Chain A
Amino acid sequence: MSEIRFRQVRHAYGDRAVLDGIDVTLTERRIGIVGANGSGKSTMARMINGLLVPSSGSVTVDGLDTARKGREVRRRVGFVFTDPEHQIVMPTVAEDVAFSLRRSGLGKEEREERVRRVLADFGLDGHHDHPSHLLSGGQKQLLALAAIMVTDPAVLVADEPTTLLDLRNTKLIARTFAALPQQVIAVTHNLDLLADFDRVLVVDAGRIVADDEPAPALAFYRDLIG
């Protein structure tokens, strides 16, 4: 597994600090981050992919500083957003997945083969030429996930990936996450999703207030929010 290290990370928008004093190393295979809206958990997730760089302190992925080696970090860390609509670029399912490989340097045949394989892995093999925008919510999230996983990242960060989904699709995404060989870091309000994870961080007011196995961490979080 990759080593993701936050060192004395602080991040502020103007005078308002959204993260402060974050000092943690993440090496487990399944890590959950929970917290109330505005607690700073999504900011923390975005820092792992280098989408945000800290105002002070540093974030490294396998020793690569996200502020200086953003491109290399993004090759290792895939990111799935809450709303897959924003992540889908191309009009058909296969094209959207292939879009991730445009700058991979791979030949056309190998790109097509990888696309076929990843669509099969994510249960979208019957939707090759299907218009992306006509997929169901769960299928769109699977497509967003497939478009990331086709690049074979070492780490997958998912920011509230089930928030817009119904129960059936939430279960589908949970099963998909469980089957991924990659390191997964999921920011979520869906506490059931984290039951089988290895580690859960509870973030409150920009700080990590609990860091434990799922059961005690989630019990702490439930007490915290009352």
Chain B
Amino acid sequence: MNTFGLYHPGSSVLHRAPAGAKLLAVAVVVLVLTLWIRQPWQVLPALGLAVLAYLVARIPPRAAVVQLRPVMWMLVIIAAFQTLLAGWERAVVICGSLLVAVALAALVTLTTRTTDMLDAIVRAAGPLRRVGVDPDRVGLVLVMTVRAIPLLGTVVTRVTEARKARGLGFSLRALVVPVVIGALRTAEAMGEALAARGVDD
């Protein structure tokens, strides 16, 4: 999953809605659905709601699938365990609720610019200023966390390719050590770039 650049440009009502309102709405809807879904059939209207929201946002099915694919294997494992331990009905309820929750959360990401999300988080963290927390820094940390994921992926790919190019087999130590060093170097370079942009002043 590429978490860098998930925003899907558009002009739908969901795209135009304030980021804070969308985050709050998704939290409330997910909570309500989780409490409400108790029978397998109840998953269907919940999924229908999620599909309707995607249609309203005019998100292409492919973009939606890209969002949900990474969690599918986890849902399969959970479903298998739940079926064995609590029966298929429980498995449908648990996995259905999770799928709807992830789909709705992903919809917020797809329809919200990172900048708007950042502004909403900074506003929400505003009261923390009273206890000495800088809201801008909270937002920056979250943005950098999101940015770090693909960068770390790049480091892992580079190390793996270097190992293959030298004809070496898999070794956990040969992977972890250069990845950690590469990650630290990348972090240092990014920190320097942020300082150069005056972000940390």
- Residue A83 contacts which of B143, B147, B189, B199 (CB distance < 8 angstroms)? B189
B25 at the interface (CB under 8 A from A): no
Give chain B interface residues in 144-171, CB to chain A under 8 Å. 144, 146-147, 150-151, 154
A70 to B186, CA, bound (A): 23
Q: Are A51 and B201 in contact (CB under 8 A)?
A: no
A71–B9 CB distance below 8 A: no
**Assuming the A-B contacts A51-B192, A99-B115, are A89 and B198 also in contact, with contact meaning beta carbons closer than 8 angstroms in the complex?**
no
Q: Nearest Cβ in chain B — how far from A151, in angstroms?
A: 7
**Alpha-carbon distance A216/B192, docked complex (angstroms):** 34
Tell which of A6-14, A131-139, A172-180 binds the partner.
A131-139
Q: How far is the CB of B143 from chain A (nearest CB, A)?
A: 6
Q: Is the interface of B mostly helix, strand, loop or mixed?
A: helix
- Whether A95 touches B4, Cβ cut-off 8 Å, given contacts A74-B198, A86-B189, A89-B144, is no
CB within 8 Å: A-B pair count: 81
Does B34 lie at the interface of the complex (its beta carbon under 8 Å from any beta carbon of A)?
Answer: no
Q: Is the CB of B7 within 8 A of A92?
A: yes
In the complex, the answer to whether B193 meets A81 with C-beta atoms within 8 Å is yes
- Chain B residues near A81 (CB, 8 Å)? 189, 192-193, 196
From 109 to 150 in chain B, residues with beta carbon under 8 angstroms from any chain A beta carbon are 113-115, 136, 143-144, 146-147, 150
State in angstroms the CA–CA spacing of A86 and B192 once bound together. Answer: 9
Closest to B2 in A: A133
Contacts of B136 in A (CB 8 A): 102-103
Expressed in whole angstroms, the Cα–Cα distance for A131 and B63 within the complex equals 14
The answer to whether A91 touches B201 (Cβ under 8 A) is no
Count chain A CB atoms within 10 A of each CB in B2, B5, B154 and give the residue with the most: B5
B197 at the binding interface (Cβ < 8 Å): yes
Whether the pair B114, A91 counts as a contact (CB closer than 8 A) is yes
* Nearest chain A CB to B61 CB, angstrom units: 19
Nearest CB in chain B to that of A72: its residue = B201
| B86 at the binding interface (Cβ < 8 Å) | no
Cβ contact of A74, chosen from B7, B146, B201, cutoff 8 A: B201
What is the CA–CA distance of A100 and B193 in the complex, to the nearest angstrom? 11
Tell me, yes or no, whether A113 is within 8 Å of chain B by CB: no
Across the interface, do A131 and B4 meet the contact criterion of CB distance under 8 Å?
yes
- Chain B residues contacting A90 (CB-CB under 8 Å) are 114-115, 143, 147
A131 and B196 in contact, given A81-B189, A89-B143, A90-B115 (Cβ under 8 angstroms): no
Tell me, in angstroms, the Cα distance from A98 to B193 when the chains sit together: 15
A62 at the interface (CB under 8 A from B): no
Whether B113 lies near A51 (C-beta < 8 A) is: no
Contact indicator B201/A95 (Cβ below 8 Å): no
Instruction: Tell me the bound Cα distance from A170 to B134 in angstroms.
Output: 40
What CA separation (Å) do A74 and B201 show in the bound complex?
A: 9
A27 at the interface (CB under 8 A from B): no
Question: Measured between alpha carbons, how far is A74 from B195 in the docked complex, in Å?
Answer: 8
Given A91-B5, A91-B7, A132-B5, the answer on whether A74 and B196 have CB atoms closer than 8 Å is yes
Using CB atoms and an 8 Å cutoff, list the residues of chain B in contact with chain A.
2, 4-7, 9, 113-115, 136, 143-144, 146-147, 150-151, 154, 186, 189-190, 192-199, 201
Identify 20 residue pairs between A and B in the complex whose beta-carbon atoms are under 8 Å apart, listed by A's number: A70-B201, A74-B201, A75-B198, A81-B196, A85-B151, A86-B189, A89-B143, A89-B147, A91-B146, A95-B114, A99-B199, A102-B136, A102-B199, A103-B198, A103-B199, A129-B9, A132-B5, A133-B4, A147-B197, A148-B197
Closest 8 CB pairs of A and B: A131-B5, A79-B196, A86-B189, A129-B9, A71-B201, A91-B5, A87-B193, A74-B198
13 extra A-B contacts, CB within 8 A, seeds A81-B189, A90-B114, A129-B7: A51-B195, A74-B196, A83-B189, A86-B186, A86-B189, A86-B190, A89-B147, A90-B115, A91-B6, A99-B115, A103-B201, A133-B150, A134-B5
